[in-house]
Amino acid sequence: MDIVDLARLQFALTAGAHFLFVALTLGLATLVAVVQTRATFSGDPVHLRMTRFWGQLYIINYAMGIVTGLVMEFQLGLSWSGLTEYAGDVFGSALAIETLVAFFVESTFLGLWIFGWDKLNRWAHLALIWGVTLTAYASAFWIMVANGFLQHPVGHVLENGRLRLTDFGAMVANPAAQAAFWHVLVGAMIVGGFFMAGVSAYHLRRRTAEQDVFRKSLRIGLGLALPATFVNAAIGGLSFQTMQPTKVAAWVGTPERLAAAQAEMVARLGPGDYLPDAGLVKTAGMAMIMLWLLMMMVAGVSFLLMLFRPAVRGFRLWHRVLTLMIPVPFVTMLCGWVFREMGRQPWVVYGLLRTSDAMSPVTWSQMVFSLAGFVTVFAALIVVNYWLLARQARRGPGAVALGDRPVDVPVPAPTF
């Protein structure tokens, strides 16, 4: 592999790994907020225990996601200085806003939510988790604004070999960003829904304690996952309208379509090879669609089974299938990400900056060393994160520390 391929592989592995944390964070934040809303309005102790259990899993994943995000920022400056020098003044504005939202506002809300149990008014505490959720959405939105600019650059001018932002509104309203944001956000709902349903099914199958917690969690998880699969299919169809001609040609895969797209780019930009790897683009796209069909089928059948209380309580084969489905939405999200990003090649900023020109001036040995370092760090973080998640999920609500208090501390009177 040459140095460009190594750099692309490094970014693909690290960005893909970080994306897994983000997807579960967005989905779980929504579900925790919904469950706590129910607990706050109803005063139901079962929903309160659900909030604490799923909230602790959310915190574990969020913390590890922050670490991987920091490593991602470091990698961007280390390996892709050509991109930041050429277009950093444009897409960097969206990344700066995302940093302020994610690291200051969202983290502040989350810290207050974690340490505010039984100390804050219950309505203020509920407002905090919704603040966490909405700022998580905002963080994802600004990331997709930055990515949308790379996919379909708008709102800029070229001055002295650098891009300068001239229309911030056009960059925010970029259709390539808007469609992708909703596609990612609804996809994260599918990830969170199947995660909640799968963990709940594990405990129902094993007849562990707190069966009411997991029966209700199963219904909530599937109640989110099923409509989300249909909504995301519609958004994905609309996203095809914003795709680059070369990506569309790679997806169709016919020699005539590929030749026409190549000829169009040559006429516009001069001689060169402007086509992505059609085989990889089509494989990733087909895998995404097939896995979506699997999720839709499982969610649809599960919805029917939820209508029968005995099935929810004791249909062990169904419970096992739902547990095995936990990784499927993650893989689907990764396939969609590969489809989106590989279809943009050979461009970093489509039509303006090639991937080979966006790299930092590093040697092959330096890139191999950094690739090995990043892969090692991310592999360790992924193993630790999913070990912690699996450990906490298996232990159940009885082992949750979130919102707990020592036995000798009196329970404060509720405030309204």
- pTM, two decimals, is 0.91
Amino acid at the residue 237: G
In a domain, 409, yes or no: no
Compute CA distances 337 → 16, 147, 149, 150, whole Å. Answer: 8, 11, 16, 14
Q: Per the domain annotation, does 323 fall within a domain?
A: yes
How high is the pLDDT of residue 408? 39
Q: Are the beta carbons of 185 and 140 closer than 8 angstroms? A: yes
Residue 242 Cα distances to 180, 182, 283, angstroms:
9, 13, 20
Boundaries of domain holding 163: 3-244+276-399
Rounded to whole angstroms, the Cα distance separating 159 from 171 reads: 18
- b (16+ CB within 10 A) / e for 120-152: bebeebbbbbbbbbbbbbbbbbbbbbbbbbbbb
Closest CA to 12 of 399, 409, 342: 342
Determine what percent of the chain is predicted with pLDDT higher than 70.
97
| 178 within domain boundaries | yes
Give the tens place of pLDDT for each residue, 326-364: 999 999 999 999 999 998 889 999 989 999 898 888 888
The whole-angstrom separation of Cα 324 and Cα 334 is 18
> Model confidence over 295-331: pLDDT tens digits?
999 999 998 998 888 877 878 899 999 999 999 999 9
> Is it the case that residue 208 has pLDDT exceeding 90?
no
**164 in helix, strand or coil?**
strand
Q: Hey, which bits of 161-285 come out as E strands?
A: 162-165
* Domain-embedded: residue 266: no
Q: Identify the CA nearest to 370 among candidates 143, 127, 77, 119.
A: 77
Alpha helices (runs of H) in 343-415, residue ranges in sequence order: 364-395
Report the C-alpha gap between 235 and 186 in whole angstroms.
9
**What's the confidence (pLDDT) of residue 283?**
94
Q: How many domains does the chain have?
A: 1
Indicate the length of the chain as a whole number.
416
Q: Residue 406: inside a domain, yes or no?
A: no
Q: What is the mean pLDDT of the chain?
A: 88
Does residue 336 sit within a domain?
Answer: yes
If phi over 0 gives left and psi between -120 and 50 gives alpha, with beta otherwise, what is residue 406? Answer: beta
